[in-house]
């Protein structure tokens, strides 16, 4: 009888210490542990080579590699960033408002950091140096700069910096498109005189895609930087910035850049 009572006490002590251990573990790794909840990242995969979909539906591209590297322990920043990424495809035009409404945690989509956008959302430090370029049909010799675009028919992607730029051209007739490749087709078909779009994406589409017969006017119209966008006051922005810094200094950024552009990456500003 006495033995049995002793046994019960031991059991109680054992259960209590287990409970204490669990509580201690939970405070070390709280429920907000980013590992527990994947970071929802929006992207518009119609923008080669930054984000696009393969025939079997896989997401690929420079931005996709960068985002995955930010989350990977192999980049040795897991302790800093330490999140799993869950991509969500979204039309580019809806990206800013989706971030504003906090329906996603972040967006990576070749999004240019602009003063206008900074009014409603936040951006990471710049991760890519870009700029707008004019694309024309190969045989077109008369469009060569901003001035020669006056009064011309121009195609752009809705909600893009290219669309904003086109609005500044006097008397231009602007057609808008929802996704990347469509406007190149329109240019080839002769429906518009020029496309205003991101230079790297345009050059890549010409080099690797079916858009033979298009060329890019050499001089860029703007200098832009892409950033990873988040809602304002995002709890993840600091980790994302530290992650980018780590990828820049440990060589991973360079590796990804060379994989997609076969060139040395340019110097990026810190902010
Ligand atoms: N850089 C341009 C902008 O921010 C165009 C980006 C388009 N990106 C895309 N995934 N469609 O407006």
Name which residue leads in pLDDT, 207 or 132.
132
For the CA of 130, the closest atom of ligand 1 is: 1
128 lines ligand 1 (CB under 6 A): no
Q: d(Cα 121, Cα 115) in Å, to the nearest integer?
A: 10
The stretch 118-127 carries a mean pLDDT of 98
Task: Please state the φ and ψ torsions of residue 259, each to the nearest 5 degrees.
Answer: -60, -40
Q: d(Cα 144, Cα 196) in Å, to the nearest integer?
A: 12
Ligand 1 pocket mutation, candidates 107, 110, 124, 196, criterion most atoms within 8 A of CB: 110
Ligand 1 centroid vs 143 CA: distance in angstroms? 23
What the chain holds in terms of domains, given with CATH numbers, is 37-129+225-261 (3.40.190.10), 132-222 (3.40.190.10)
The CA-atom distances, in angstroms, between 126 and each of 8, 35, 123, 174, 241 are 62, 25, 8, 29, 9
* Closest residue by CA, ligand 1 atom 11: 47
Q: Taking the model in full, what pTM does it have?
A: 0.85
pLDDT at residue 82 in the model: 63
180 lines ligand 1 (CB under 6 A): yes
Signed CA dihedral, 94, 35, 254, 207: sign only: negative
Ligand 1 pocket mutation, candidates 157, 159, 162, criterion most atoms within 8 A of CB: 157
Name which residue leads in pLDDT, 31 or 111.
111
Ligand 1 pocket mutation, candidates 94, 109, 158, criterion most atoms within 8 A of CB: 109
The stretch 148-164 carries a mean pLDDT of 97
Contacts for 254-263: CB closer than 8 Å, 24+ residues apart: 256/62, 256/65, 256/66, 256/69, 257/62, 259/62, 259/65, 260/49, 260/61, 260/62, 260/65, 261/49, 261/62, 261/200
H/E stretch holding 172 reads none
pLDDT at residue 261 in the model: 95
Q: What is the pLDDT of residues 159-170, one digit of tens each?
A: 999 999 999 999
Is the pLDDT at 70 greater than 60, yes or no? yes
pLDDT at residue 6 in the model: 56
The stretch 44-72 carries a mean pLDDT of 94
Q: d(Cα 215, Cα 152) in Å, to the nearest integer?
A: 17
197 lines ligand 1 (CB under 6 A): no
Q: What is the pLDDT of residues 15-52, one digit of tens each?
A: 666 555 544 544 444 333 444 478 999 999 999 999 99
pLDDT at residue 11 in the model: 72
Which has the minimum average pLDDT: 71-80, 161-170, 221-230? 71-80
Ligand 1 pocket mutation, candidates 90, 107, 160, criterion most atoms within 8 A of CB: 160
Rounded to the nearest 5 percent, the helix, strand and coil shares of the chain are 40, 20, 40
Is the pLDDT at 269 greater than 70, yes or no? yes
pLDDT at residue 209 in the model: 73
pLDDT at residue 32 in the model: 38
64 lines ligand 1 (CB under 6 A): no
Give one word for 40, left, alpha or beta, with left for phi > 0 and alpha for psi -120 to 50.
beta
225 lines ligand 1 (CB under 6 A): no
Q: d(Cα 65, Cα 85) in Å, to the nearest integer?
A: 11
Q: Is the preceding peptide bond at 49 cis, omega within 30 degrees of 0?
A: yes
pLDDT at residue 76 in the model: 46
- Report angle CA 6, 10, 15 to the nearest 5 degrees: 145
For the CA of 224, the closest atom of ligand 1 is: 1
Is the pLDDT at 177 greater than 80, yes or no? yes
């Amino acid at each position: 009888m006495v033995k049995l009572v002793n046994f019960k006490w031991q059991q109680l002590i054992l259960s209590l210490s287990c409970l204490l251990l669990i509580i201690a573990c939970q405070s070390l790794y709280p429920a907000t542990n980013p590992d527990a909840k994947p970071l929802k990242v929006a992207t518009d995969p119609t923008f080669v080579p930054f984000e696009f979909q393969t025939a079997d539906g896989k997401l690929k591209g420079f931005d996709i590699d960068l985002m995955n590297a930010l989350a990977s322990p192999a980049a040795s920043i897991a302790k800093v960033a330490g999140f799993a990424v869950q991509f969500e495809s979204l039309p580019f035009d809806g990206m800013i408002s989706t971030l504003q409404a906090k329906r996603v945690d972040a967006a990576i989509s070749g999004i240019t950091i602009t003063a206008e956008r900074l009014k409603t959302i936040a951006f990471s430090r710049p991760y890519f140096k870009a700029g707008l370029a004019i694309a024309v049909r190969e045989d077109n010799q008369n469009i060569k700069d901003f001035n020669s675009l006056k009064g011309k028919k121009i195609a752009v992607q809705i909600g893009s910096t290219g669309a904003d730029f086109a609005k500044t051209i006097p008397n231009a007739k602007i057609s808008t498109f929802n996704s990347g490749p469509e406007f190149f087709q329109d240019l080839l078909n002769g429906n518009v005189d020029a496309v205003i779009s991101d230079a790297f994406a345009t050059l890549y589409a010409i080099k690797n895609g079916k858009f033979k017969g298009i060329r890019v006017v050499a001089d860029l119209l703007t200098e832009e930087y892409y950033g990873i966008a988040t809602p304002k006051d995002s709890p993840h922005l600091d980790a994302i910035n530290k992650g980018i810094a780590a990828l820049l200094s440990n060589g991973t950024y360079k590796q990804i850049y060379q994989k997609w552009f076969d060139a040395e990456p340019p110097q990026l500003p810190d902010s």
